[in-house]
Amino acid sequence: MEKPTEIMVKQTRLSLAQGDITRQNTDAIVNAANSSLMGDSGVDGAIHRAGGPAILEECKQIVARQGRLPTGRAVITTGGNLKAKYVIHTVGPVWHGGGQGEPELLASAYRESLKLASQRNLTSVSFPSISTGAYGYPVADAARVALKTVLTFLQNETTSLKEVVFVLYDARTYETYRVALEELAK
Ligand code: ADP
């Protein structure tokens, strides 16, 4: 992993790293899931492959209990065989051009994940770049929403979190988040 870019927000370190989120040892990693919670392609598939069947088992129980997970909401399961103890599954919006509430739904996915982590008293959590793969959200726009939402949460809410990491898979996404963080931190 590259040397992370970071800022402090009250008691919490917010940092960017390039790499594979399935290898993170934060208390939880966030999964960019889809509403079925059945594991799919992209980061979702990678997390289920690396974490093993216990994650899917819990996802199935959640869907049996409460139905499909709506866009912008989040649930938590075991991390199975991952280094992370928990996986927080959230559903980002599919990009339809930006006029269908995409920014608010994306912000909600981050906020609900941070709330869950705080409710469980976790000290660290890692996020992927939600919605910018198969769901087609333009990366620069998504990066601004993601970072602004996390910054606002950390500034305004009481949280157990000491560390929030964005783990960006490819160099272009990492660089886009780096520029967005620089702009926001000005
Ligand atoms: P979505 O359906 O929300 O768009 P994707 O999984 O298709 O989710 O893509 C979201 C982001 O996750 C993309 O930037 C993709 O490159 C990235 N990604 C894929 N695999 C991993 C991984 N193992 N670790 C971190 N990020 C990943």
Environment class of residue 130 by beta-carbon count within 10 Å: exposed (0-12), middle (13-18) or buried (19+)? buried
Average pLDDT value for residue range 95-113: 98
Tokens read off for 62: 């959640």
CB 92 less than 6 A from any atom of ligand 1: yes
The pLDDT tens digits for 73-82 are 999 999 999 9
Domains in the chain: boundaries: 6-184
* pLDDT tier at 71, thresholds 50, 70, 90: very high
Task: State what percent of residues in the chain have pLDDT above 90.
Answer: 96
Do 170 and 159 meet the contact criterion of CB atoms below 8 Å apart? no
* pLDDT tier at 122, thresholds 50, 70, 90: very high
pTM attached to this predicted model: 0.97
Average pLDDT, the chain: 96
Q: Which atom of ligand 1 is nearest to the CA of 92?
A: 3
CB 134 less than 6 A from any atom of ligand 1: yes
Span from the CA of 130 to the centroid of ligand 1 (angstroms):
7
* pLDDT tier at 43, thresholds 50, 70, 90: very high
Strand arrangement of the beta sheet that strand 28-33 belongs to = 5-9, 12-18, 163-168, 124-127, 28-33, 86-91, 74-78
Residue 4 has pLDDT above 80, yes or no: no
More confident residue, 26 or 2: 26
The pLDDT tens digits for 133-178 are 999 999 999 999 999 999 999 999 999 999 999 999 999 999 999 9
Nearest 10 degrees: CA dihedral of 132, 143, 23, 43?
-10
6-184: CATH architecture: 3-Layer(aba) Sandwich (3.40)
Average pLDDT value for residue range 176-184: 96
CB 146 less than 6 A from any atom of ligand 1: no
Residue 1 has pLDDT above 80, yes or no: no
Active site residues per annotation = 44
Q: CA–CA separation, 132 vs 143, rounded Å?
A: 9
